[in-house]
Structure 1
Amino acid sequence: MSYARIVDIRSAPGPARKSHAWQVLREAARLEPDEDARIAWYREDPIGVLGRETAEALVASGRYEEVLAFLRGVRRDLGLEVPHGFGAF
């Protein structure tokens, strides 16, 4: 049996930052099912529209809501998120 790799977010001070990191990783899981790829994205890939900083750096600086909005925008742009309301009628 294989277990999911644990992400070490101890360098982010305080429980709020850890919670924010988990929120971002959970939202990223809706786009990328592969955990290794998700963690690599979180730590290494700069987000151009957010100043070319990584998600990890943005979360550490308190900008996690911007990362969540970015991920939700990507889902919407890919057509993975159903709009709310009566648009389907």
Structure 2
Amino acid sequence: MSVRLLCDTARVMAAARHVEPNRARRRAWFVEDPIAELGFRTAEDLVEAGETSRLIAMIASIRAHERGS
């Protein structure tokens, strides 16, 4: 895994920690759950595609109660 992917994964997981405090559930979400509003791709797919900023913005909107969790 490249340094960029590691850093971006860490950023996403840190942001998601505020929405899902359980590390195991957060990890499962990252690799398994397709996100409808981001093209039914997983968080892992989005990070690999270089779309970390979009993903973190979505997580921020959840934290701000601008959308459902």
TM-score normalized by the length of structure 1: 0.71
TM-score normalized by the length of structure 2: 0.90
Which structure carries more strand by proportion? 1
Give structure 1 stretches of 5+ with no counterpart: 1-11, 79-89
1:76 to 55, 64, 68: 64
Deviations 1:3-59 (A, max 9, x none): xxxxxxxxx4x2011100000000000111100000000000111110010000000
Runs of 4+ in 1 over 4 A off after TM superposition: none
Larger of the two Rg values belongs to structure: 1
Superposition CA RMSD, Å: 1.0
Q: How many residues align?
A: 66
Q: Per chain length, whose mean CA-contact separation is higher, i.e. which structure has more relative contact order (CA < 8 Å, sep 6+)?
A: 2
Give structure 2 stretches of 5+ with no counterpart: none
Write the distance in 2 (CA, Å) between the matches of 1:17 and 1:44.
17
